[in-house]
Each structure stands twice: as C-alpha cells, then as structure tokens.
C-alpha cells in the first residue's frame, strides 16, 4: 500500500510492520512443556482455507501433543496467560492471511506477539521477513503448504531443546529490543520529522 501511494498519489507512504505491546513482552522460563500449539481461530477467513487445513493437519500428526487455542479451539487466551502458554509450548506454528503468499512484507502481527511473549515459532516464509528476522536465529521458516518440511522441522525442534530454546530467547530479545509499539512510534516520528 505504501508503494501504491508513492506511485499513484502525492501522499508519501511508508511501510510500518506490526509490533508488540512492550508491557506484554515478557520471557517466562518454564520446564513444564507440551509439544505443539496453534493460536488463532480455525475459521479465520472463509477465503483462507489454508488455516483449517493446517490446524487439522497438526491435530492429525500430533494427536496427543497438539493444542489449538482460539475462538473455535480451547478458547481465547490473552494477557499473562498467553505468555505462559507460549512459554509452555515447545513449538508454536504460525500462519497469516497472505493469498498465494504473493504479497511481500505482509505477515501477521502474531509473529511479533509470539516472539515478544517468549514463544518459539515456525512460520511460513514470506518475502521480506528476512529484513526483520533471521531464519533459525530468531524463528524458523518453512515453505508455505509444504507439510513434509513442516513436519521435519517440528519433529527436529521437539527433540533439540537447547537449540530451540536458544532461538526462542534470541527471537524474544530481538522483538523486545527493536519491535515494540514504542519502537514503531519512534519510526513514525522520525518519518514525520517530529521531535
């Protein structure tokens, strides 16, 4: 949209990624873990059939270790309970509404929220994410709709606690130190030449 404004109007557009609310950006260490979680509604958007497919696949492949939280899952979780949930999940699988994954730099704010709240996330790669995150340093990317690769990654990180927890902490620190709403406001004020 920023590019469209710059090309087609006199309005100066500037793309600003999402962020996380700093007071909720807490790392909660825990030794009590379960395997895999997905946070978000299954019926997210009817035009995005990948979400129900992904959640069903996770349930089928991890029948004892998968938990789905959201409006049509085990319930909506917010606040400190969400931090605790992310801390207890070994692996968080992410998703975003990005039809055909053809929209560069367009991904869910849950990436920031999950990392900021101390979760380890495996997320489909979207062009532009590498400008904010480093694969296998802050989070782990997989190729959209590649369930074979997703399974290999989930299984690997379920078994490699030390590597997973190192990535989880690095992702949390990256977001906490760079991608809170305060940081985003600093960018806005800088772009506006204010203050």
pLDDT digits (tens, 9 = 90+) for 104-157: 777 888 999 999 999 999 999 999 999 999 999 999 999 999 999 999 999 999
The CATH number of the domain where 183 resides is what? 3.40.50.2000
In a domain, 26, yes or no: no
Residue 195 predicted with pLDDT over 70: no
Q: How far apart are CA 126 and CA 43, in angstroms?
A: 22
Give pLDDT, residue 149.
98
In a domain, 134, yes or no: yes
Print the domain residue range for 151: 31-191
pLDDT digits (tens, 9 = 90+) for 63-117: 999 999 998 888 889 999 999 999 999 999 999 887 766 667 778 889 999 999 9
* Residue 39: strand pairing partners: 69
Average pLDDT on 5-18 reads 78
Higher-confidence position of 99 and 162: 162
State the maximum Cα–Cα separation within the chain, in Å, rounded to a whole number.
55
In a domain, 7, yes or no: no
Give pLDDT, residue 121.
98
Q: How far apart are CA 89 and CA 2, in angstroms?
A: 36
Query: For residue 144, what are the contacts with CB-CB under 8 A and spacing of at least 6?
Result: 50, 98, 101, 124, 125, 126
In a domain, 17, yes or no: no
Percent of the chain whose pLDDT exceeds 70 = 95
In a domain, 3, yes or no: no
Give pLDDT, residue 2.
65
Higher-confidence position of 32 and 150: 150
Give pLDDT, residue 106.
77
In our burial notation (b when 16+ CB lie closer than 10 A, e otherwise), range 46-69 reads: eeeebbeebbeebeeebeebbbbb
Residue 38 predicted with pLDDT over 90: yes
Contact (CB, 8 A) for 108 and 88:
no
Percent of the chain whose pLDDT exceeds 90 = 59
DSSP one-letter code for 75 = B
Distance, first Cα to last Cα, the chain:
26
In a domain, 18, yes or no: no
In a domain, 94, yes or no: yes
Alpha helices by DSSP H, listed for the chain, are 2-8, 50-61, 79-88, 110-116, 147-159, 161-178, 181-191
């Amino acid at each position: 949209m920023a590019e469209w404004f710059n090309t087609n109007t006199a309005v100066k557009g500037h793309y600003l990624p999402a962020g996380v609310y700093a007071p909720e950006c807490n790392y909660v260490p825990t030794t009590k873990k379960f395997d895999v979680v997905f946070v978000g509604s299954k019926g997210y958007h009817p035009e995005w059939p990948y979400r129900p497919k992904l959640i069903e696949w996770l349930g089928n492949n991890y029948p004892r270790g998968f938990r789905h939280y959201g409006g049509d899952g085990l319930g909506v979780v917010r606040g400190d309970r969400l931090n605790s949930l992310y801390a207890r999940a070994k692996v968080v699988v992410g998703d975003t509404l990005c039809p055909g994954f053809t929209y560069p730099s367009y991904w869910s704010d849950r990436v920031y929220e999950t990392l900021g709240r101390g979760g380890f996330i495996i997320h489909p790669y979207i062009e532009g994410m590498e400008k904010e995150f480093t694969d296998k340093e802050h989070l782990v990317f997989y190729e959209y709709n590649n369930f074979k690769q997703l399974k290999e990654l989930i299984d690997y990180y379920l078994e490699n606690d030390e590597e997973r927890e190192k990535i989880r902490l690095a992702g949390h620190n990256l977001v906490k130190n760079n991608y809170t709403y305060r940081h985003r406001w600093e960018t806005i004020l800088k772009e506006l030449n204010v203050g």
